[in-house]
Structure 1
Amino acid sequence: MNITFLGTGTSQGVPVIGCNCEVCRSLDFRDKRLRTSLHIEDQGTSIVIDTGPDFRMQMLHNSIHRLDAVVYTHEHKDHTAGLDDIRPFNFKQQTDIPLFGTTQVLNQIKSEFAYIFAKNKYPGIPRVMMHEVSNLPFDVMGITFTPIQVMHHKLPVFGFRIGDFTYITDANYISPEEIEKVKGTKTLVLNALQIKPHISHFTLEEALAFIEEINPESAYLTHISHKLGLHQKVQTNLPENVAMAFDGLQICT
């Protein structure tokens, strides 16, 4: 299974509009972060987790020419706003694109993209098939996704385990029951927003503590803000099995 980090930034992206900090001024390409999203390719099947505002550029930058399904972690705009740009895949593949999400996520999509679901549809709008998921494992084009419910302040958010790979974003608390689903993971992706405490995201210290508890072979940090620091400086102080993810990074699991 080939994994591509399409975006590794928080809701404002990096650089942040109007900011003059050293991270936002950095010339290191690894400090340029689009909104968080992931591409999974397995035996020709192409799946994206979350279609944020940068979805179009992420598809172009990573030369993704096919999309078989979209899986959503939650309904926040930095994870859903780019849905309209699935249209070229509709045209090219001549098919509706399946969307997988909780009832709350799908209802939010129906509200924000009401024109997709209008009785009298405008020609050329996105064509989708809605698939409601719960906390039980579900199948996406032959690939099993096991949901891991985490808390994003007071909002339940899904992380996903796929075989020995686990992806968790927008979390600041994971219950003992859900942690059990993560144990045994060989490759773990986890959000680490910044150094200082935050109301809805793990800090770097909290993320590293969770990684130490799970003890995967390798771990990658994502959903990173400019407040975490320069990629190169942060990476220097990380444990041997932990890396800062960056946009365009590809790994194989």
Structure 2
Amino acid sequence: MRVTLLGTGDTTGTPTVGCDCDTCEAARERDVERTRFSVHVENERTGETLLVDFSPDFRYQFLRDDVAPPDAGIVTHIHFDHLDGLGNVFRVLDSLTVYASGETDPQTGRSVAETVAEDYHYLSALEVHATTPLDPVRTCGFDVTLVPVEHPPLLCYGVAVEDPETGAKLSISGDTNYDIPAQSREALADPDLLLADAIVPAYFCEHHPAGGRHEGPDGVPRTFGHKHMTREGALALAEDLNADRTRLVHAAHYYPPEEAFEDPLAVDGEEYVL
């Protein structure tokens, strides 16, 4: 299993358009970036590739990192920074199977799968499969499980990708706060590589109108506001899941420059063989 981090940033990415903050300037000087979230997973046994989330930066990411177009895709939720890149498959792919949850979202009245199928009805290449959360599906030679997480007000899912031949496992927290259900934690547990949402350091909770929540024993918030984990929350999740290796993703440009590019914060283009 070869994992390429195509996009490791939040909804605006780093550098952010029109921003001259110290962190964005440092990213430009170092020639590193965090585009909107997407992960490319290659099955070297079968020659197939799986894409987790369709970043609006799809075209740029695939050209920059020179990875193969996907044979199948996963959509974790319907926020634009995880979905809107799907339109890039127009006239690029002849066929693409997309897996998304069939669970109806009370907020929208539609499942993620229904939203994808209806909003991208003009893409003849798409074949959308509604999946049941926590029920693995076999695609690209992998066992792939959509895992319910907490990203209010929308339903959102993490992803576990396992190679049944080698036992390699990739877990992706998805966009989530720290309050991930126990059954979901079990599905994500014991990964060789964990990609965990870590939008800001915990001390930034003092700047959020909703503050922080899900404090650890040390009183440090593990959730920033309502929707995302802090860096400290993501690291606590990694410990709870017994992750062999952890990279922090969906990072905002609010990390100060002296922290923004330090391990375990990921940047685009990182590659891991599991």
> After superposition, where does 1:101-250 map in structure 2 within 5 Å?
101-103=100-102, 104-116=111-123, 126-135=124-133, 136-163=135-162, 164-172=169-177, 173-195=179-201, 196=204, 197-230=224-257, 233-234=259-260, 236=262, 243-250=264-271
The answer to whether 1:6 aligns with 2:6 is yes
2:166 counterpart residue number: none
Equivalences, count = 233
Aligned counterparts of 2:67 and 2:17: Cα–Cα separation in 1:
27
Query: 2:5·2:39 contact (CA, 8 Å) conserved in 1?
Result: yes
Among 27, 31, 38, the residue aligned to 1:29: 31
Tell me the SS of whatever aligns to 1:106.
Answer: helix
1:121 counterpart residue number: none
Tell me the SS of whatever aligns to 2:41.
Answer: strand
Moved more, 145-154 or 129-138: 145-154
Tell me the SS of whatever aligns to 2:122.
Answer: helix
Query: 2:159·2:188 contact (CA, 8 Å) conserved in 1?
Result: no
Deviations along 1:173-192, one digit per CA (max 9) or x if unpaired, are: 20122112222223211010
Identity of aligned residues (%): 27
Deviations along 1:116-160, one digit per CA (max 9) or x if unpaired, are: 3xxxxxxxxx51111111111111132111222101123221111
Shift of 1:114: 4.0
Query: 1:8·1:223 contact (CA, 8 Å) conserved in 2?
Result: yes
Tell me the SS of whatever aligns to 1:177.
Answer: helix
Shift of 1:10: 0.3
Change (3 A) 1:229 1:169: farther
* 2:246 partner amino acid: A
Change (3 A) 1:183 1:113: closer
Aligned counterparts of 1:66 and 1:189: Cα–Cα separation in 2:
21
The answer to whether 1:70 aligns with 2:73 is yes
Extract unaligned runs of 5+ from structure 2.
103-110, 163-168, 205-223
Aligned counterparts of 2:116 and 2:184: Cα–Cα separation in 1:
26
Aligned counterparts of 1:115 and 1:146: Cα–Cα separation in 2:
27
2:165 counterpart residue number: none
The answer to whether 1:49 aligns with 2:52 is yes
Moved over 3 A (4+): none
Shift of 1:198: 2.7
Change (3 A) 1:97 1:188: same
TM-score w.r.t. structure 1 length?
0.85
* 1:10 partner amino acid: D
TM-score w.r.t. structure 2 length?
0.79
Tell me the SS of whatever aligns to 1:244.
Answer: coil
* 2:259 partner amino acid: K
Shift of 1:89: 3.5
Extract unaligned runs of 5+ from structure 1.
117-125
Aligned counterparts of 1:81 and 1:5: Cα–Cα separation in 2:
18
Moved more, 53-62 or 156-165: 156-165
Q: Kindly report the root-mean-square deviation, in angstroms, between the aligned alpha carbons of the 2 structures.
A: 1.8
1:16 counterpart residue number: 16
Query: 2:14·2:24 contact (CA, 8 Å) conserved in 1?
Result: yes
Query: 2:43·2:141 contact (CA, 8 Å) conserved in 1?
Result: no
Aligned counterparts of 2:19 and 2:226: Cα–Cα separation in 1:
22
